[in-house]
Amino acid sequence: MLLASAARAETILFVGNSFTFGALSPVWRYRAPTVTDLNGEGIGGAPALFKLFTDEAGLSYDVSLETHPGIGLDWHWANSFAKLDKAWDHVVLQSFSTLDRDKPGDPTLLADYTRRWADTFAARNPAVDIRMTATWSRADLTFQAQSPWTGKPIFAMADDLSCGYGQAAKATPRVKAVIEVGEAFSRAIRAGVADANPYNGVPFGQVDLWAYDNYHASAFGYYLEALMLFGSVTGKDPQSLGAREQAALELGFSPQQTTALQKIAHDELAAAPQDHCTAPGVAPVIAVPAATAQNSPK
């Protein structure tokens, strides 16, 4: 009797920048051979963590990533369209850390290119599952560099980014969910798992979610990001990975750190959605017209 052939692996594409590829941390090149870097740069990043988590959960995903530092979805549209214009089962989109490099906090550009990419991916596969990653508060823009978030609570930037990604998703019905990574960072800080201000030292028993530049994430931060990606895309509880999860062991986390981060991801994924656009000072809600044929790159 012949055994049934294994089910086809689900394809997933991660599109982003250094916040996806794990810059300034051991996650950057982590298990790179287990994923397909469409740029051939040997990057593992959060997608490789996601891949390992799915393997540990007994799931089958064929993981690809296309990343470039310091850019948004508009850059990918202009420079990587041919690489990405394929049929995917899942797509996760992540854009610039302030939504718009030239207009920090303004979601207009994000929403425009979210719509363009969603229409492109849906044309290849109408059933594609498209999600977006709302990123974290930058400590450097809160405590040091002059920015719209200077002097505000560390949670303010994550709230504004959540608002911007939420607006982009609402303007693009094909987007299934916003993965609230920035809000998970904030939850970890509020819960005492992570430090709130790396410029005044990290208290004993807490983790630093930021890398040495207080801009990018540390291994702990990227691990939390990947837990959120895993839980959102697969529907599996991050806590099911357990205290002896392989990536955490290889990255040098203690069992207590691992389970604490898994619980934060579980709690954030289970929390009722919040509308962070009601906070004072947040950019107004935008209306984005549908993409047209003229929007397609030549």
Residue 2 in domain: no
CA–centroid distance for 238 within its chain: 15
The kind and range of the H/E element at 93 are: strand 90-93
Residue 55 in domain: yes
Residue 292 in domain: no
Count helices and strands (H / E) in the chain: 11, 6
* Closest residue by Cα to residue 224 from 208, 235, 213: 208
Residue 148 in domain: yes
The answer, yes or no, to whether residue 284 has pLDDT greater than 80, is: no
Contacts of 120 (CB under 8 A, 6+ apart): 81, 84, 85, 296
- State the CB neighbour count (10 A cutoff) for residue 157: 27
Q: How many domains does the chain have?
A: 1
* Higher pLDDT pick, 6 / 194: 194
Over residues 46-73, the pLDDT tens digits come to 999 999 999 999 999 999 999 999 999 9
CATH number at residue 221: 3.40.50.1110
pLDDT value, residue 235: 98
pTM of this structure: 0.93
Which two structure tokens, joined as six digits, stand for 287?
């209306």
Residue 295 in domain: no
From residue 5, how far is each of 2, 8, 9 by CA, in Å? 9, 9, 12
Residue 164 in domain: yes
Range of the domain at 196: 10-273
- Read off the amino acid at residue 19: F
Q: Which range has the worst mean pLDDT, 5-19, 214-228, 267-281?
A: 267-281
Residue 200 in domain: yes
Residue 225 in domain: yes
What span, in angstroms and rounded, lies between the C-alpha atoms of 279 and 282?
6
